[in-house]
Chain A
Amino acid sequence: MIVRLLGEGQYRVDDSLLARLNEIDAKVEKAVADGDEQALWSGLQSLAEMVRKNGEKLADEDLSPSDAIIPPEDLSLDEARELMQDEGFIPDIPVAS
């Protein structure tokens, strides 16, 4: 599957990684609920590192869409909350019409 690290790029990783990613993802969500920014950052960092370590970076020319998208490592609590609430955090995407 293909994973995008926001602000960094796309990686191709083995499908088996998803379960481990989801595990950390749950911790990240808890960190946001607890308002624990340090835990949020360390969680996001673990996600990114796992993808970098186990994945292979996709070529720039590759047009494949991603299966999973991971937020930036320095995401603030406010940004994370915005992300949980609505879609306001992500700018409108100019899709081909």
Chain B
Amino acid sequence: MPGLMSRLSLIFKAKFSKALDRAENPSETLDYSYEEQLRQLQNVKRGIADVTTAKKRLELQYTGMQQQVEKLDGQARTAVQAGREDLAREALTRKTAVQSQLEGIMQQGQQLEAQQQKLIEGERTLQAKVESFRTQKEVIKAQYSAAEAQVRIGEAATGIGEQMADVGLAIQRAKDKTEQMQARANAIDELTTAGALEDFTGSSGGDDIDRQLAALSQSSQVDDELAKMKAEVGRGSEPRQLEGEDAK
């Protein structure tokens, strides 16, 4: 039983042996083959563009999550200031959960980045090969007998087909990876909704957290402003003093 490398090589050979059987009319085949390559190259470019778009979308989602972490952190702080340890605990628990998921996504993102880089290099190589085929086909047309041309066309077509398959596979894998990341990101989004928090903490009233925290942050904002006003009216403007008071 052949190993993975041998197996892969066999599969590729089987796929390309067809290319070697063709080319009855070398000149015609060459032109057609080139047209076909150009068309496939466009498909590859489109595929890479799709991956890039999906990745950008993920990055946006990722930024949103980071903001979520910051927001939860701020909420926890507000809750502590207001002496609501229960709410602070909820917010921090939620923050920790999102944060740990984020780290996983970040790692996957780095892998994707590397894959994408290789993808772009693969596409560049493919482009160079197609260009090389274009010049070689004229040489083949002009210099070789039909029988010799047939062999050369078969080889060149195989060489290009291999590169196509390689880049095609890389695109497919990068797409799979973005989809996986998308699924994880969506799961986190769900996790950060109030309903999921209930299951997560096992405590009651999870649905209220957002509202309570919002109310709290509003009321403390009012307190802040009130304190500021008092300070201004009472002893002139000394806003820095207020921060010290808040921290207590």
Contacts and interface: CB of A to CB of B under 8 A. Distances in A.
Interface residues of A, number: 43
Contacts of A87: 11, 14-15
Given A22-B6, A25-B5, A60-B124, A94 B159 contact: no
Interface in A50-97: 60-72, 74-75, 79-80, 83-84, 87, 89-91, 93-97
B5 A47 contact: yes
A94 B36 contact: yes
Main secondary structure of the interface of A (DSSP, over half): loop
B9 A68 contact: yes
A35 interface: no
Contact size range, B: 35 or more
B1 A29 contact: yes
Contacts, number: 142
A65 B5 contact: no
Contacts of A96: 19, 22, 29, 32-33, 36-37, 153, 157, 160-161
B9 A80 contact: no
B164 A63 contact: no
Interface stretch (B79-87, B165-173, B226-234): B165-173
Interface of A: 4, 6-9, 21-22, 25-29, 32, 44, 47, 60-72, 74-75, 79-80, 83-84, 87, 89-91, 93-97
